[in-house]
Amino acid sequence: MAIWDDTLTERDKQVFAKSGYGKRQGFGQRPAVLVIDMNYNFVGDRPEPILKSIERFRNSCGEEGWQGVYRIRELLTEARKKHLPVFYTTAHERRSPLAFGRWQGKNRRAGEDMREEWSRGNEIVEEIAPQDGDILLRKQKPSAFFGTPLMSMFNELRVDTILATGCTTSGCVRASVVDAFSYNFRVSVVEECVFDRGQASHKINLFDMNAKYADIISLREALDYINGLPDTLCAPGL
């Protein structure tokens, strides 16, 4: 049973099945790992219930976020053994009201994001912090592709498959997945490695991405795929 099954009506299930959506596209030959916005602003500085965590970090996803941290750490451990390219995204250290754009228009606590401690909150959490050779991209909008050099870097590495992780499922993950799909990448979203502050949003966006834009795969599937790759596929200098 898929995680989203309890959010669908019987009509929806029949419509999508009969229409042919949700076909598994599979993996390519040259993957990259994309770690989207795994910073303290989105997970908080400690594992605690979300209603507690959002008192200090309004964007926090609470305990679900920290479970994502631990699962992403497992994925990164195996990916680095194979020298796979790893890309991180997060927001800029500081933002002017102009650079902040329209974010403030949809949240009454957005003014908190202009405080000094907000910029430190954009650091990737220590447990999965970038290592030598990883790429950290700063972005202002939901998609990892918008206004960043990510596509040119993928072209240089001849990436054909993206293993997507991070947060939030309904926000920056989905925006990045749709853009990756639009650029004709094979996209796999690792279910245990993505999360959202909204439980319903998490489920229905996994369903929607799986139907049209990506494969939703388990962490076990991702690890098996990585472990089956050649050791020198993306080794430095190749």
Q: Are 75 and 163 in contact (CB under 8 A)?
A: yes
* Cα–Cα distance, 88 to 35 (Å, whole number): 5
Question: What b/e string do you get for 71-107 counting C-beta neighbours within 10 Å, with b at 16 or more?
Answer: bbebbbebbeebbbbbbbbbbeeebeeeebeeeeeee
The mean predicted confidence, pLDDT, of the chain is 92
Q: Are 177 and 204 in contact (CB under 8 A)?
A: no
Q: Are 179 and 208 in contact (CB under 8 A)?
A: no
Q: What's the pLDDT at 103?
A: 63
CATH 3.40.50.850 correct for 26-227 = yes
Q: How do the domains of the chain map onto residue ranges? A: 26-227
Question: What b/e string do you get for 22-57 counting C-beta neighbours within 10 Å, with b at 16 or more?
Answer: eeeeebeebbbbbbbbbbbbbbbeeebebeebbeeb
The sign of the torsion formed by the CA atoms of 83, 85, 86, 91 equals: positive
Above 90 in pLDDT, residue 234?
no
**DSSP label of 226:** H
3-state secondary structure of 180: helix
Above 90 in pLDDT, residue 106?
no
Summarize the confidence of residues 178-193 as an average pLDDT. Answer: 98
Q: What's the pLDDT at 37?
A: 98
Above 60 in pLDDT, residue 236?
no
Q: 153-183, pLDDT tens digit by residue?
A: 999 999 999 999 999 999 999 999 999 999 9
Residue 233 pLDDT class (50, 70, 90 cuts):
confident
Q: What's the pLDDT at 119?
A: 60
Question: What b/e string do you get for 141-157 counting C-beta neighbours within 10 Å, with b at 16 or more?
Answer: ebbbbeebebeeebeeb
Above 80 in pLDDT, residue 118?
no
Q: What's the pLDDT at 237?
A: 52
Q: What's the pLDDT at 1?
A: 86
Summarize the confidence of residues 126-153 as an average pLDDT. Answer: 97
* Cα–Cα distance, 177 to 44 (Å, whole number): 24
